[in-house]
A and B are shown apart, each in its own frame.
Chain A
Amino acid sequence: MGEIVQLDETGFETIVATHHGEIFRYLRRLAWRAAEADDLSQETFLRAYRARQRLTADANVRAWLFAIATNVFRNHARSERRRRAAHDTVRATRRELETDGPEAEAVAGEVRTLTEQAIRALPLKQRLAFTLRKMHELDYEVIGQSLECSPESARAHVFQALRKIRTTLNGHALPATEPTR
């Protein structure tokens, strides 16, 4: 009788080792609480495991996982929205930032917090498109697949998000950038 060997040839543990960190960060950015990101990232990978047979050898695993994670989060957000409708508590964390001095740090910290709040306040599709593009630097093609829309729509969502964030920051001093390229 044959010895016990793995029939699972896709090396799913390798996929987890390679991509879990980033998918967790993605969901951590989207989720309201840390524990949610934990649950959602588990669900993402368990779903991926079940669907792994449909993954072709030349597939973009990273894009595939982002699409699943996005889907998992959207489902989650739909049910959360009803639950949370009454009392929305936007979590905004202050984080350390390397700057020149205490004053600059305070300004920069405030701007960061406002920006995070603005991102959280975006309509879901814009927030997802923005996060996928600006935080994880995915192609619009891939973002479109994750959001079930065209790459052009995905781009439009990101730009709309940028406009809103910019409006939120109106009247606030922003850290200086180098002059026009």
Chain B
Amino acid sequence: MKKPQSCIQIEPDLIATATGEASAAAAGQVQAHVATCRACRDDFARYRAVDAVVGTLRGDMPPAADADAARARLLGRLADLKSRLVSYKVFPSPLGPILIAASEHGVALVEYLRGDVADSRLFRMAGVDTQEGGAALERLHRELLDYLAGRRTRLEWPLDLRFARSDFERAVLQATAAVPYGAVSSYTGIAGELGKPSAVRAVAQALRHNPVPIVVPCHRIVGIAGDLVGYAGDRLGLKERLLAVEGVPTAHARSRIVREAMYHYDPNPDRQYCVPSCGGILHRPLGQVKLFASREIAQSVGLSPCVDCRPDLHPLAH
């Protein structure tokens, strides 16, 4: 027997009403229809029964142990992915395009890009899964711009030194990170601090491979005579600019620090710093001797003015 047209038309609303999906208006029409149509009333009851059976399935839960085990395995794989995953982005800067890359542990790479991003060190590292973008990187970029503009003196970024090639290199980076803003030390000085005074070349190599320049301020490390030596390959200009931001004077033509314009510290029991003219300190090699662009910086690392040359009374003219 053929279904009447009115029954065919109301069928979707009938299903909707029977399964709790219908609007009030549609439900009203369906109720009115089934009150007079026997076949549709049966249909309606059938759909309601189907809906009730479906409802019992909704409450089915897989064994809690299965879900727990699945979650535990997921968290394991997630930890593995996180440990491998490094997010990166290339940003413009006054020093040219810079790639910043960070893992869950911290910033892993700051790289001056010369060409294509595909040539970045990032893509030559084994065991690394890369991903472009990330809100955290934007914040790092803003802070870096502030730093380069002299509006910020520290980049207090958590670091992930996975791209350093050895524990020695990591130790060099750690020691370099301790050189404060506006201060200058030497490769020899860092080697001495690490208790390996003969490892000067190895220190220089480690800093040449510094995966996080600017953040680990290898630009504050110079040769024993105050010469700038190397930076990011052959980009001494970058080193000079970074030092200039911190107020460290450099003689561009000779690519060296202007020691005459900096305060000196040669380790002494009283922890006193001097003006360069004090007792021939200017001519001592930058082995143990450290330099500071200002008295404030020298004092910020716990030094006090020398009682002979009195840098407190006779500051250097800038």
Interface residues of chain A, those whose CB is within 8 Å of chain B, are 1-9, 12-13, 16, 20-21, 24-25, 28, 34, 37-38, 41-42, 45-46, 49-50, 53, 95, 97, 108, 111-112, 115-116, 119, 134-135, 155, 158-159, 162-163, 165-166, 169, 174-177, 180-181
Contacts and interface: CB of A to CB of B under 8 A. Distances in A.
Interface in B102-160: 102-106, 131, 133-136, 156-160
A6 B104 contact: yes
Given A166-B46, A166-B50, A180-B31, 12 more contacts: A2-B106, A3-B158, A4-B160, A5-B106, A8-B136, A16-B78, A21-B71, A34-B66, A38-B69, A159-B15, A165-B50, A177-B52
Given A95-B60, A177-B48, A2 B157 contact: yes
B87 to A, nearest CB: 7
B56 interface: yes
Contacts of A37: 62, 70
A108 B157 CA distance: 62
B110 to A, nearest CB: 14
Nearest to B48: A177
Given A34-B62, A37-B70, A41-B74, A50 B131 contact: yes
A8 B104 CA distance: 6
Nearest to A178: B48
Contacts, number: 143
Contact of B57 (A1, A5, A45, A112): A112
A112 B56 contact: yes
B62 A28 contact: yes
Prevailing SS type, chain B contact patch: helix
10 cross-chain pairs, A with B, having the tightest CB-CB distances, nearest first: A174-B49, A2-B158, A38-B70, A1-B177, A7-B136, A28-B62, A42-B74, A177-B48, A5-B158, A20-B71
A42 B72 CA distance: 10
B81 interface: yes
A16 B50 contact: no
B271 interface: no
B135 A53 contact: yes
A20 B77 CA distance: 14
B71 A180 contact: no
B52 A20 contact: no
B235 interface: no
Interface of B: 12, 15-16, 19, 21, 27, 31, 34, 41, 44-54, 56-58, 60-62, 66-67, 69-71, 73-75, 77-78, 81-82, 85, 87, 102-106, 131, 133-136, 156-160, 173-174, 177-178, 216
The winner among A7, A20, A119, A174 for most chain B CB atoms within 10 A is A7
B73 to A, nearest CB: 6
B174 A134 contact: no
Nearest to A159: B15
B57 A135 contact: yes
A5 B77 CA distance: 20
B53 A159 contact: no
Given A25-B62, A180-B34, A115 B54 contact: yes
A16 B71 contact: yes
B52 A45 contact: no
Contact of B77 (A7, A34, A42, A175): A42
A6 B70 CA distance: 25
Contacts of A111: 53
A176 B159 CA distance: 66
Contact of B159 (A2, A9, A38): A2
Contacts of A165: 50, 54
Given A21-B67, A112-B53, A135 B58 contact: yes
Among A2, A16, A135, A165, chain B packs the most CB atoms within 10 A around the CB of A2
B56 A174 contact: no
A46 B158 contact: no
A177 B48 CA distance: 7
A55 B177 CA distance: 35
Contacts of B159: 1-2
A165 B52 CA distance: 12
